Structure 1
Amino acid sequence: MVKRLARQRDGNASPIVAVSAGTGQISQYAVDAGADLLLALNAGLYRSVGCGSLASMLAYGNANEQTEDLLRRHILPNACGLPVVAGVMASDPAIDLDRQLDHLRAIGVQGVTNWPTAGFIDGQIRLALEEEGLGIASEVELLRRAGEKGLATFAFVLSETDLQRFAEVEVDAYIVNAGLTPVRFALGDRRDALQSAIGYINEMIEVLRALPSRPLCLVYGGPFTDVDDFSALFQQARIDGIAGGSVFERLPVQAITSNFVRRCKALRATGPDLEHPKRHEIVGRSDACREMMATIERVAPFDVNVVIEGETGVGKEMAAALIHQISPRSKQAFITLNCGAIPAGLLESELFGHERGSFTGADRRRIGKFELANRGTLLLDEIADLSPAAQVALLRVLQQREVVRVGGDNPIPLNVRVIAATNQSLARLVQEGKFRSDLYYRLSTVTLAVPPLRERTDDIPDLVSAFLRKTAAELGIPALSIDERFERKLARHSWPGNIRELMQVIARAAILEDGPVLRGVHFHPDSGGAELSPIANARRVSVRDIEVALERANGNKSVAAAALGISRKTLYAKLTRGDGA
């Protein structure tokens, strides 16, 4: 089993997907959708009745008995030949470890992992467990004996220290826990949580890379709740796949499980190129695109601030992310803040953080964007929208290289690279007295201009091909192409919405048209009638339109929103209100 999965990794194929199933239905749906492994963890039983995974560690019953019940009733009867990895609670005094491992192998289990793990426990209880030999030491011994018996060994780890202890017995794979999966995120916290988790995972991978062997590495839990999250993870971290249960076990169960597994398998677990770290994520071969890429590659290695200017929808954030990815800071966090989306009174709290009780509503300490981005990169999008007071505060941070949280007293030293993005000319705003010149010079060591799509029309065929592959994978349909007439229509359009508009046009055609060759029957270039503006289009979209688009997109909200020409935020808002307002 492990050798097959290792060949899959070395062949740069799709990522490994391991599903922790709590019911036979989930197991069956995962198998049908193309999962690589089934995990039998007693946590699945608790999730199936609406509890969190950590309930599996509490004394509601014997964990090993619960896992065996799950194996016999749900997992093994529906595995259809798929490898099964079972959790074993090594500190269970009611079992003979060797006998338990022989029994699991006899009933068809091919691998084991240390679940429930003492790694979730800290403080005095953890110290007491370790002193009694019931902590990580017992789990290391479990996997050592399992390996001697020919079982595949998967070490479930939550810290670098524990990882190194499992390395002593040369386990076959690591399941790195990225934290708890939240039910929902506070406004603005989602992307920060993703980047913090990716940074932590990369730190764990650094320890793995120092090992003489090449064990597999899967990621479990954390803030990764949809396929786009895992796509970002695979781009920024050299992992081999994912393991999890809660991301699959959502309603409607069959559609979510099948769609999620299939879309994950359509991704590529490439990770950053460790020897040649330049990642050419920006699609295009035009002179304008080549010139932009040359500038990015030239400036990225140098620790200087950058201003990125360009129209809405041209891909300024992608350019900023690429600068970060090929810079020496690539293993650290990439944090973003849309300055135009934050009320002026809250901006300093967002940037610098605040202490509990510092103002009405500050019921807890909040870490600001600068602290989150320490040693990494901070993208300040729509920088031109900063108020004069916020410009002064930002200038002070850039000069002093430290922040003081709102309501705090102690300065916090920082090492942050700032990239500022704007759809306006900062130089012109300086001349008009709308932007501080001293802040402008601090930010704009280098200014990168991202060309609009109408100036790089030679790139449209390459962009269309990339969007067709992505859309087909997300929808779970055969490969798509466009006919010559549609291609000519795309070339005639002026693309006021730039690349974002092109993505929407392709996604909408894929959903609304039948057959593998798209004809663009719903697209009309400028010369034949302008497209609806996003605001006008949003007003005309009804809840029924959204329901139909979601059905055709197999529940993928990003694809459905793109097909309708609205944002995900607008889609959620309309569904919540339940009307077409």
Structure 2
Amino acid sequence: MTLSSRGGLLIGAAVGSGIAAQTAETGGADLLLAVNAGRMRNMGAPSIASMLPCHGATAMTDAFAAHEILPRVGIPVLLGVNCWDADFDADDVVRRVAEQGFAGAVNFPNATLMPRGMRQLLDRAGRGFRCEIDCLARVQAAGFTALYYCGTKEHARAAAEAGLDMVLLNFGWNAGGSLGHSRRASLEEVGLVARDYAALIRRLHPGVRILLEGGPVVSAEDLGHVAGVAALDGYVGGSTLDRLPYEESVVNRIASYRQAGDHHEHLTRQQETLLRWGQRHGLVGRAKPFRTFLEELEAVSGAGRSVAVTFEPGTPLRPVLSAIDRRGATAPQIDGAEDHGTRIAQRLFGRDLPSGYEDGLLTVPDGEAVVLRDIHLALPAAQRRLARSLASGILVTSRRRRRMKVTARCLFVFERSAQEPAFPAELHPELAALLSGWTVRVPPLRDRIADIPELIEALAERLDLPKGRVPSFTPGALQRLRRHAWPENEAELEALLGRIVGRAPEGEVSGNAVGRLLEAPDRSEEPPARGSEMERRRIVEALWRNDFHRGRTAAALHMSRKTLYNKMTRLGLSD
């Protein structure tokens, strides 16, 4: 049987239920693969469960393929064939395909997806990849379609020599989603390997059709990237066509229902005025913890005395300082972690000179705000002197004992998590007593999750993003943002926005995309890899692709075994 595409690549779907098959046909799939992995996904298990001894693969596949899929679709259906059954018989496979009306067969579950050691055991038992190729060759000889799952160069050569007309290059289980595997190979690596395998197969069997499945290829963009490197005839989607879209769809639908029931709390005129006051200083949000914070902030801003602010890492401090004091955002700063003791004392208290007194920040004539970061790291004597000067409003100079009026307003800031006490243990008790009751804690982002959409809009406006570049999120994506812990607070949200804008997404950003971006490490501040590090990564990836067989790895890297051994020893990979 000859399969035809509706245009462009031949698209197949590995399914496990009637609804998945019908939806795939409606979406334009050219063929279906009825395989037990699809059934396991429909049962809520990961695809890899299809390889485990937890059920009879043949009985399971035959049942749903014949009764759920064949009666409901009009496109070709390939039956998943398990060669590991105790009573497996290739001729019986041909008979089942013919009698039940399947278009052909595909080897699934298969040896390709097994670890190398298990593949060797299956080969020795006569149930490995050669048994699968022989079975599919008989199916093809009987006039049906045979699709061979291929994962190594040895398998590719054997399939081509057997004359199989369709070969599916598989690069492992799909990444992404709640049950997906982590990526171990990049799209570039998959493209290069696929190109090498395809060239080998076509050299031995020019009429073959080569399809791709699995690994890091999750989206249409991923497929286009790989297809640009390797000449492919088609693509088969498993998790990418049923599990991932289903997860995204259901999450979006439930999240949208939940949002439909989320009524904005009716705010009083006084609360609305408070929010506008915060917005003038760059403080955006409406959540209850944030409103409570704004109330406290407004109260201390009008007091005119020294106050303390505690915040978690990644929280923007400039708007808070601006709200407390109109000069706070641009006020001079003293950092207890960076300035040594003598410098802190001179900057704060000034010093006596033969010609007179040099004012410090506490006693400048016009008076101004002074931001003191982590002052608990300063010398205890300096902390005590500062506390007594602020409490009395008088600074007594150290030598001539002059009495100077304190004109500055001190804004103390401490980076503290919500689980820690407001003040560090090293803060002098007199300073702690002075600031007690006059401390404002900025709520972390995880306590005001409802403000995230508004914060994203404010970030986009502050960054002057064109309107067309401001991302919109699906309900599922917003739900994913709300579930995140945000350990780096607004700084992490801004970094996420940068990743999204940098990828120039079309349409709404999905929950799966948000999940991948939140988990992606930020390498912008990492130093560039040295030549030896890049070479080490290249060898490790090649070893992994070749099951750590050093001879095959050397051939893949186009070097001799001796050269590979020497490089591995030099790079610390010989053990």
- TM-score normalised to the size of structure 1? 0.43
- TM-score normalised to the size of structure 2? 0.44
Greater Rg, structure 1 or structure 2? 2
